[in-house]
Amino acid sequence: MITTLAQWLAGQTVDPKLASVVASMAAASAEIAGILRLAPIAGQTGLAGHTNVQGEAQKALDVISNDIVLNHIGQNSEISILVSEELDEAVHLENQGQYMVATDPLDGSSNLDVNVTVGTIFSVLDASKGLLQPGTAQLAAGYAAYGPATSLVITFGAGVAVFTLDGAGQFVLTLDKVAVAAASSEYAINTARERFWDEATRSYVAENVAGETGPAGKRYNMRWVGSMVADIHRILMRGGIFMYPLDSETVSKGGRLRLLYEANPMAMIVEAAGGASTTGSEKILELVPTGIHQRVPVILGSAEEVARVEGWYAKA
Ligand code: AHG
Ligand code: MN
Ligand code: MN
């Protein structure tokens, strides 16, 4: 017996209106998956020709994905506010909907031209509480990973479920109650940035590189896809730690990844699966945002590894 996303959502003890918001993001993700699969044939790869508010070159598919999300969200009267990586300002929709969605419609878009996994990340909040709410106020979070299979990962705070898109465009439950392994010997960080790293990051990674000959006492492996969604999905499935710490180059911006639609939803998912998340010295989910596109340091994954990094930050 298969369980479809609609059946699973109907069985959750959450407001059906909130479930409908997640269903809208799932529908947008299914449509984006279809577009991505055929984009090279349709000539939709490459740059869109403009930059977003954060000064990053938008890919054609960033813009297309954003339009798809906007279209699905616009059709759901329960949603009154949309915050997107690709839109300078928050969009206030013409309805009284109770919910706000913050999204990165296409994460990891630099990987598109090389046919490597990208994703859609989203966070759902109470629209009446304003744009700048801490991650602890999130009501739901999820992401779609467009890989060999399209996976949709959802949490309402307690437990994390994984769905897979079938050939008919329907999401089917393939994993329930996911748990992030507490221990791991795999880490993800862009090591080309080593010269910018702080002492804590340097010390933690040095211990991992030393492997069984160092204080960690075990051998580590490094994996970095360069798509947060793909890296976090691997960690959800088999443990590990993901790090985009504050470094001397990103310090003026506050970090690399965005709080509202990258760090917060991923931290909620990882924590709901028993993992941990931090900026190094503060809890990501407790940060009070100062802007919708605010950037923050992100360290999350297996609890024991995150605790080791926090240990180094506490010493610094
Ligand atoms: P986006 O494509 O939305 O700008 O995000 C890309 C992010 C994230 O997915 C990834 O973890 C990180 O940027 C990769 O950074 P590097 O290019 O420094 O490896
Ligand atoms: Mn992104
Ligand atoms: Mn993006």
Tens of pLDDT, residue by residue over 22-47, are 999 999 999 999 999 999 999 888 88
What digits encode the pLDDT tens for the residues 247-305? 999 999 999 999 999 999 999 999 999 999 999 999 999 999 999 999 999 999 999 99
Tell me, yes or no, whether 44 and 66 share the same domain. Answer: yes
Q: What is the pLDDT of residue 49?
A: 77
Closest atom of ligand 1 to 104 CA is 3
Rounded to an integer, what distance in angstroms lies between the CA atom of residue 191 and that of residue 172? Answer: 37
Residue where the block lists tokens 């748990």: 179
pLDDT at position 306 over 90: yes
pLDDT at position 62 over 90: yes
DSSP 187: E
Q: Residue 180: inside a domain, yes or no?
A: no
Tell me, yes or no, whether 284 and 308 share the same domain. Answer: yes
Read off the pLDDT band of 54 (50, 70, 90): confident
The residue whose CA is least distant from atom 7 of ligand 1 is 108
Read off the pLDDT band of 58 (50, 70, 90): confident
Tell me, yes or no, whether 198 and 311 share the same domain. Answer: yes
**DSSP code per residue over 74-87:** HT-TTEEEEEETT-
- The alpha carbon of 69 and the centre of ligand 3 are apart by a number of angstroms equal to 12
Tell me, yes or no, whether 91 and 64 share the same domain. Answer: yes
Q: Ligand 1 test: best mutation among 63, 191, 256, 298, most atoms within 8 Å of CB? A: 256
- Tell me whether residue 241 is exposed, middle or buried, using C-beta atoms within 10 angstroms of its C-beta: 0 to 12, 13 to 18, 19 or more: buried
- The alpha carbon of 296 and the centre of ligand 2 are apart by a number of angstroms equal to 12
Beta bridge partners of 244: 298
Tell me, yes or no, whether 156 and 208 share the same domain. Answer: no
Full residue range of the structural domain in which residue 311 is found: 186-315
- The residue out of 156, 175, 194 marking a domain boundary is 175
Q: Residue 196: inside a domain, yes or no?
A: yes
Q: Ligand 1 test: best mutation among 118, 227, 261, most atoms within 8 Å of CB? A: 227
Model pTM above 0.95: yes
Q: Which residues line ligand 1 (CB under 6 A)?
A: 56, 85, 104, 107-110, 190, 226-228
The residue whose CA is least distant from atom 14 of ligand 1 is 226
Q: What is the pLDDT of residue 311?
A: 98
Q: Kindly report the CATH number assigned to the domain that includes residue 237.
A: 3.40.190.80
The average pLDDT across 141-146 equals 99
Tell me, yes or no, whether 151 and 210 share the same domain. Answer: no
Q: Residue 20: inside a domain, yes or no?
A: yes
Q: What is the pLDDT of residue 56?
A: 79
Q: Residue 73: inside a domain, yes or no?
A: yes
Q: Ligand 1 test: best mutation among 85, 223, 244, most atoms within 8 Å of CB? A: 244
Q: Which ligand is nearest the CA of 298, by number?
A: 1
- The alpha carbon of 215 and the centre of ligand 3 are apart by a number of angstroms equal to 37
- Give how many domains the chain has, as a whole number: 2
pLDDT at position 168 over 80: yes
Tell me, yes or no, whether 285 and 261 share the same domain. Answer: yes
Closest atom of ligand 1 to 106 CA is 3
Tell me, yes or no, whether 143 and 254 share the same domain. Answer: no
Length of the chain: 316
Tell me, yes or no, whether 54 and 198 share the same domain. Answer: no
Q: What is the pLDDT of residue 44?
A: 86
Q: Kindly report the CATH number assigned to the domain that includes residue 134.
A: 3.30.540.10
Q: What is the pLDDT of residue 11?
A: 97
Tell me, yes or no, whether 167 and 24 share the same domain. Answer: yes
Percent of the chain with pLDDT over 70: 100
pLDDT at position 57 over 90: no
Tell me, yes or no, whether 61 and 29 share the same domain. Answer: yes
Rounded to an integer, what distance in angstroms lies between the CA atom of residue 203 and that of residue 220? Answer: 14
- The residue out of 175, 195, 218 marking a domain boundary is 175
The residue whose CA is least distant from atom 2 of ligand 1 is 108
What digits encode the pLDDT tens for the residues 155-167? 999 999 999 999 9
Q: What is the pLDDT of residue 16?
A: 98
Q: Residue 150: inside a domain, yes or no?
A: yes
Q: What is the pLDDT of residue 101?
A: 98
Closest atom of ligand 1 to 109 CA is 2
Q: What is the pLDDT of residue 170?
A: 97
Residue where the block lists tokens 């730690």: 241
Q: Are residues 90 and 81 in contact, defined by beta-carbon separation less than 8 angstroms?
A: yes
Tell me, yes or no, whether 161 and 211 share the same domain. Answer: no
Q: What is the pLDDT of residue 18?
A: 98
